[in-house]
Amino acid sequence: MKPKVAIACQGGGSQTAFTAGVFKALSENKVRDHFDIVSISGTSGGAICGFMLWYAIKRGETPICKRVLDFWNDNAAKTYQERVLNDSIIHSLYLGGKGLIPQFNLSPSSPWVKNSFSVATLGIRNEFTDLGALLASHVDARELASLGRQPEPPILVIGACNVLTGRLHKFSSYLEPVKIEHLLASACVPSIFPAVSIGDMAFWDGLFSDNPPIATLIDPRFVGPRNMPNEIWVIKINPTTADEIPVAPDDILDRHNELTGNISLFHSLRQIERINDFIITGAFNDEFLAEFDIKDPIKIPRSFPDDPDAPYHIPRIEMSVELAKSLDYESKLDRCPEHIARLIRDGEEQGRRFLESRLS
């Protein structure tokens, strides 16, 4: 019997193009011949990548990576005008982060911001300036709605934060039909987009909840008792360590963003590590574990690289050291084609290495 695997995709803006490369490697190396993907979770850009993979599997598409690669191809700046707009935004953010130009905090809901953006984007593809339009061009909303609730694997879990209640929220295909609005909610960076309203609730970026959802993947209420994974693979975007203490304003912002993005991940991994310790010591009776088809500890990445190995240790899928060190906060918003292509290539290489090591 093939091991049951859950794939958790961390968010990180444009840097999550790395995840598309990982999916390309898994697809080309026929991951489903060796593993049963029972669930996929994600936050923000990771949620969009995870959704595209889930949607492709549900539709029976081959290769399963084509849809997510097509999305990133369209998400990149294609025309001269799009390149100018993209480069201007990134350069302005860079100069502001260095303290070379003043920064202004404006609400994305402000009429002035909306009008100014409309003028600046004249003649540019709507799909480049409107995430909802981009998603709609890659997903048939009516077909998605017709899928309804999906209790069969793989289960999709999307993380978001309820702005009004302050509670973490998980949209699960096991419990409800998946909607494009769920992706928009998960990717709603509050400094860029107005809060996404669904019903009488409003949502912000899943970065404020789980980045990515991990503990939910072993919660039968969200994935079903028969979809509990034997392994959890984490596609990690934010680096864990830093070589030096940040001093410059933009370096402080970058490190703050990395640490914030990892807090919930490490907390969730610690929770599962503790559950695994209980399994190893026999704290749960066999009848209880059998209800969830659990025979051994769940294989997960250890929270920190210097932790001692455990029976359930599997390395996470991370960027190469060279690529990770070359990235900064601005690169999370950079959509220049060369940047996106570089991230995808590295994801493909790291995904291939991971799968080779896992199968060896």
Q: Catalytic residues, which ones?
A: 44, 205
Q: Are strands 36-43 and 155-162 parallel, antiparallel or unpaired?
A: parallel
Query: For residue 170, what are the β-bridge partners?
Result: 159
**Which tokens hold the place of 12?**
């990180």
Do the beta carbons of residue 315 and residue 354 sit within 8 Å? yes
Q: Identify which of 300, 264, 53, 22 has the alpha carbon closest to the alpha carbon of residue 160.
A: 264
* Residue 335: alpha-carbon gap to chain centroid: 17
Give CA separation, 40 vs 10, 132, 229, in Å: 11, 21, 11
**Residue 10 to residue 202: CA distance in whole angstroms:** 22
Query: For residue 39, what are the β-bridge partners?
Result: 6, 155
Dihedral over Cα of 316, 317, 322, 325: its sign:
negative
Give CA separation, 302 vs 7, 210, 347, in Å: 15, 17, 20
Give CA separation, 73 vs 17, 57, 308, in Å: 10, 20, 40
- DSSP conformation letters of 60-96: T-SSTTHHHHHHHHHHS--SHHHHHHHHHHHHHHHHH
Q: The tokens 């995808």 sit on which residue?
A: 344
Give the containing element (helix H, strand E) for 231.
strand 231-236
- The string over 260-272, giving b where at least 16 C-beta atoms fall within 10 Å of a residue's C-beta and e elsewhere, is ebbebbeebbeeb
